[in-house]
Amino acid sequence: MIIQSTLLRMYDPATTPSAGFAPFSLGQFSQLFLVPYIARLLIKEDMVCSMKEAHEEMVDSREVGHSLHIEDDEDLELESILRMNTREAIKERRAKLSTDTEVSAPTHVALRMPTGIEIESKTAGTSPIQEKLHSIPKGMKS
């Protein structure tokens, strides 16, 4: 759970390209592949062994791990890490959203025309947009 939340904080699912792990989402890919891989790396480092041995240890100790580390337990340190990851992810997304909003401020405000101004049409009964469409060569229209 900690590895998963840390990965999703490091790699925002909204902006991380998924072509490299399609048809999975980032959450699915990290849970199915990255979390077990990182767990093996941590076991390998702790036990000073090969990746194969780390994998065997991970598989062999799975049941014991579930018994010792019940998901519903009240481990304050783990809860603190999860809350911190969540808080930081929210802060980062809010900062990004406010930056995106500032950068992409509504441009239509600058394009508003004062009331009372009329745009003359060269062709009676057509709007300026229709005139532009008529002036596009036939091969260019989609």
The span from the CA of 94 to the CA of 100, in Å, is 10
Tokens of 46: 């702790």
The pLDDT-based confidence of 53 (bands split at 50, 70, 90) is very high
Tell me the whole-structure pTM to 2 decimals.
Answer: 0.53
- Of 135, 46, 63, 113, nearest to 38 by C-alpha is 46
Domain ranges of the chain: 21-69, 76-101
**For residue range 10-46, what is the model confidence (pLDDT) as tens digits?**
888 888 898 998 999 888 999 999 999 999 999 999 9
Q: Are 9 and 88 in contact (CB under 8 A)?
A: yes
